[in-house]
Amino acid sequence: MVEEARVAYLRHIGHPYQEVREEGIEMNVLEAWMKYRRPLLFDDVVEVHTSVASVERASFQMEYLLTVDGDVRATGVTAHGCVTQAGRPTRLPAWMHELERAK
């Protein structure tokens, strides 16, 4: 669910993940954390609110707020490492740093 939200977020801000990949950059998930505050039930329509939490030279974190009808059900964070398609660490694109500054 948060993976889909992160990809939709990138598309929404004008940087679809496929274009990022075509530039030779991968944003691998290094860690994922989720805290459930209330149960998510089968057939719940869940809204996932996504934002950039932090940006470093070659890594970043995204934060998530999952709600059902405005009621907070869960919060989460994913950590990502930026690597070339050969798997070597590389700097994040400049636009990622601009996202953090715009917070």
Q: In total, how many domains does the chain have?
A: 1
H-type alpha helices, 2-102: 2-12, 17-22, 94-101
Q: Which residue's structure tokens are 């998510």?
A: 40
Is 103 inside a domain boundary?
Answer: no
Model pTM score: 0.90
Instruction: State the CATH number of the domain containing residue 72.
Output: 3.10.129.10
pLDDT in tens, 24-60: 999 999 999 999 999 999 999 999 999 999 999 999 9
pLDDT at 75 over 80: yes
Phi, psi at 56, each rounded to 5°: -115, -165
Q: Is residue 35 part of a domain?
A: yes
- Residues 6 or more apart whose CB falls under 8 angstroms from that of 6 comprise 50, 62, 78
Distance between CA atoms of 70 and 88, rounded to whole angstroms? 41
